[in-house]
Every structure is written in C-alpha cells, then in structure tokens.
C-alpha cells in the first residue's frame, strides 16, 4: 500500500482528495498538511512514500518544500498538482527534484495511476504540461529532432524509453541489457544533450510528440 501525504492550503481540496483516494485499496492517506513547513514536520515523524504537493501556499510553498524534502528525504516522491498558469513554479519544482506533475482537473483513476508511477521510480510528465515545460527550458521544437543526431542508435532508444516514463530496470528489460549499462548510457546521453537529469530528457522527448 502506498502511503500518501496531501499538501494543499485549501481544506476543501485536501478533504476532497482524501475522500477520493480512500476509495482505492492501494493508497493509504497518511495525513494532510496546509503548507510545506507542516509537511516537513509530518515527514520527521511518519513514513511517507508519495507527497501530493500544491505549489502556491502560505508560509512555505511547494517549490521550497520540494527542495528541502528532497535533501532530507530523497526517497520520498513528490508529485506536484498544478494549474496551467503556474509554469514558472512547475519548472522550479522540477529543478528542485519533483518526480512529476499533474493538472488539478484530472480524474481519480489517472491520479492514482500517477501516484503509482512516481512510487515505482518513474518520471511522470502529463503531455499537456510537458509541452509548456519544453518552452520553459528554452528549446524550440525544430531544434529537438536535430539535437538527437548526437546520440548513437542505442542511446536514442534509451532516450525514447525515458520519455515514456520507463525506469532503468524497465529499460534494461526491454532492451535486454543490465541496469548498470542503462545508467552508463544515460550519463552519456545527458552529457551529449547538455541536460541536467532524466526529467529534462523526458520533457525533450515528449516535445517531439507535439
């Protein structure tokens, strides 16, 4: 069962998410917090697998909370819930180590799938938001396909699988190579494309679909 912490300054949102997620057997709501500071206090005393993190909150927003949480509790997954008018916040959240983001208007089944996805160690990039984030990265669509010419055939295959949200283990199983080999290829891919992490790589791959 996945232990989930809901962090949002609006009590109605927190209560709604709690009621909705309690309908699913694979999710257990460990608690609720009204801001990032309260969320960190809960993490200091309870075990949490995934945090559903709002961005705009008083006292400590989701961006700063994500940075601190990832430094103190790197194994905890942070899934940001956002709206379309928060591009800058989303980008900063990802820079601080967020594991993915979803729009707040999604359905309950998609939300649970998202929680499962980040819990398993995969990057979660909703296509509609990914397109906007590629723009925030400062890349243009017509440049993206050209930049992949730097990669070998195997590196390109791995890049595409990262874009599908696959973990290193899943990529290894798909291509019949070890996780260690996948990691080595990823290091080379990120270096060649001048990207910081697999999240930026996934964003870049996603942009090719648009």
pLDDT, residue 140, reads 47
By the 8 A CB rule, do 124 and 114 touch? yes
pLDDT, residue 106, reads 85
pLDDT, residue 24, reads 94
In eight-state DSSP terms, residue 45 is: T
At 150, list the tokens.
């730097």
> Which of 81, 2, 78, 7 shows the shortest CA–CA distance to 42?
7
pLDDT, residue 104, reads 82
Burial class (CB in 10 A: 0-12, 13-18, 19+), 62: buried
pLDDT, residue 28, reads 96
Alpha-carbon distance of 49 to 37, in angstroms, equals: 18
Q: At CB < 8 A and 24+ separation, what contacts does 123-126 make?
A: 123/99, 123/162, 123/165, 123/198, 123/199, 123/202, 124/79, 124/99, 124/100, 124/165, 125/100, 125/101, 125/165, 125/199, 125/202, 125/203, 125/206, 126/100, 126/101, 126/102
If you count them, how many residues does the chain have? 210
- pLDDT beneath 50, residues of the chain: 139-142
pLDDT, residue 142, reads 45
pLDDT, residue 4, reads 97
| pTM over the 0.85 mark | no
By the 8 A CB rule, do 128 and 204 touch? no
pLDDT, residue 209, reads 59
Cα dihedral 125, 73, 97, 83 sign: positive
By the 8 A CB rule, do 28 and 36 touch? no
């Amino acid at each position: 069962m996945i232990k989930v912490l809901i962090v949002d300054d609006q009590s109605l949102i927190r209560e709604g998410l709690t009621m909705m997620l309690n309908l699913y057997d694979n999710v257990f709501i460990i608690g609720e917090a009204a801001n990032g500071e309260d969320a960190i206090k809960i993490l200091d005393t309870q075990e949490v697998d995934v945090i559903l993190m709002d961005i705009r909150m008083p006292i400590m927003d989701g961006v700063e909370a994500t940075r601190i949480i990832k430094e103190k509790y790197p194994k905890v997954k942070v899934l940001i819930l956002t709206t379309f008018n928060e591009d800058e916040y989303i980008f900063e959240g990802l820079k601080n180590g967020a594991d993915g983001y979803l729009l707040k208007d999604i359905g309950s089944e998609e939300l649970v799938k998202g929680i499962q996805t980040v819990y398993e160690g995969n990057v979660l990039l909703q296509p509609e938001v990914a397109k906007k984030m590629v723009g925030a990265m400062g890349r243009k669509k017509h440049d993206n396909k050209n930049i992949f010419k730097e990669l070998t055939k195997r590196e390109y295959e791995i890049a595409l699988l990262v874009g599908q949200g696959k973990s290193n283990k899943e990529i290894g199983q798909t291509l019949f190579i070890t996780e260690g080999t996948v990691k080595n290829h990823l290091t080379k891919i990120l270096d060649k494309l001048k990207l910081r992490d697999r999240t930026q790589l996934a964003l870049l791959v996603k942009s090719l679909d648009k």
